[in-house]
Amino acid sequence: MKKVDVRGITIGGGGLVLIAGPCVIESRSHALYMAQALKEITEKIGMPYIFKASFDKANRSSVDAYRGPGLKVGLDILGEIKQDLALPITSDIHTPDQALPASRVLDLLQIPAFLCRQTDLLIAAGNTGLPVNIKKGQFMAPWDMINVIKKVESTKNTKILLTERGSSFGYNNLVCDFRSLGILRSFKKPVVFDVTHSLQLPGGKGTSSAGNSEFIVPLAKAGVAFGIDALFMEVHDRPEHALSDGPNSLRLSDLEPLLKQILDIKKAAG
């Protein structure tokens, strides 16, 4: 198993890391509030934590949907969180030209699922030298991710994470095939389980996505029991008012009890 270091946090070393935050940066104050709250919870229970929020959501259902503050303002906010709270930071990039400026602030580059086959984007991310977290496309068989890995590794960058985030099951529906976690692990890369996006119903509300957040807890427990290296979750203090992916986000007040349970499961599973 290849261990990947993200600003002092080891992913793939036998422990369990949390990657979490609101889907999108809604405002500077909200991002700082969420980062501080998440840091306090994870420090309290002793769980390594990486803050995630998107500066741009380029694949929203509707042209009128909120996308985020954009590259410059978004990176300024993420940089402030990184400096003031001493947290590792990740966010997604959508075009090759975003890779270099994002790498100056972020500690982990995220490749969105819809873009996981985009060769130029993968190579640009690899060339930054930063760790790269690649989300498996909803349309992808897990064994086909080997071709994606090779694209990043063509840059001599082997610091790769693979994220399972559900597979398309008919229209407007995602399901999680837990076999995928084992198949991705066979590539000797740390495996991340994006439990909240696995419960998304893409375009389920017509101009926005729906979701089945009531299943976050059992799926998170199952993923940890199966054996993962990191858990990815979108977390919001008021999911019903979130500007992106509220229907499949975990409520902030529910995070601490869930993390305590999954750490117990991790310990029992070995």
pLDDT digits (tens, 9 = 90+) for 57-82: 888 888 988 999 999 999 999 999 99
**pLDDT at residue 209 tops 90:** no
- Bridge partners of 231? 18, 193
Q: Is the pTM of this model over 0.95?
A: yes
**pLDDT at residue 188 tops 90:** yes
Q: Please give the share of the chain, as a percent, with pLDDT higher than 70.
A: 100
- Contact criterion met (CB below 8 Å) for 42 and 49: yes
Nearest to 54 by CA among 255, 242, 216: 242
Residue 85 is predicted with a pLDDT of 98
- Joined tokens for residue 2: 């290849």
Q: Is residue 203 very low, low, confident or very high in pLDDT (cuts 50, 70, 90)? A: confident
**Amino acid letter, 52:** K
State the DSSP H helix or E strand holding residue 111, giving kind and residue range, or none if neither.
Answer: strand 108-111
Residue 1 is predicted with a pLDDT of 81
**pLDDT at residue 4 tops 90:** yes
Classify domain 4-235 by CATH number: 3.20.20.70
For residue 233, CA distances in Å to 22, 78, 247 come to: 9, 18, 13
With a CB cutoff of 8 Å and minimum separation 6, the contacts of 13 are: 3, 229
Mean pLDDT, all residues of the chain: 96
Strands 167-168 and 174-175: antiparallel
**pLDDT at residue 204 tops 90:** no
**pLDDT at residue 210 tops 90:** no
Write out pLDDT tens, residues 99-115. Answer: 999 999 999 999 999 99
Measure the CA–CA gap between 158 and 160, rounded to whole angstroms. Answer: 6
- Joined tokens for residue 214: 């009531």
**pLDDT at residue 219 tops 90:** yes
Q: Is residue 138 very low, low, confident or very high in pLDDT (cuts 50, 70, 90)? A: very high
Classify 106 as helix, strand or coil: coil
Q: Is residue 249 very low, low, confident or very high in pLDDT (cuts 50, 70, 90)? A: very high
Residue 137 is predicted with a pLDDT of 97
With a CB cutoff of 8 Å and minimum separation 6, the contacts of 128 are: 99, 100, 102, 103, 109, 157
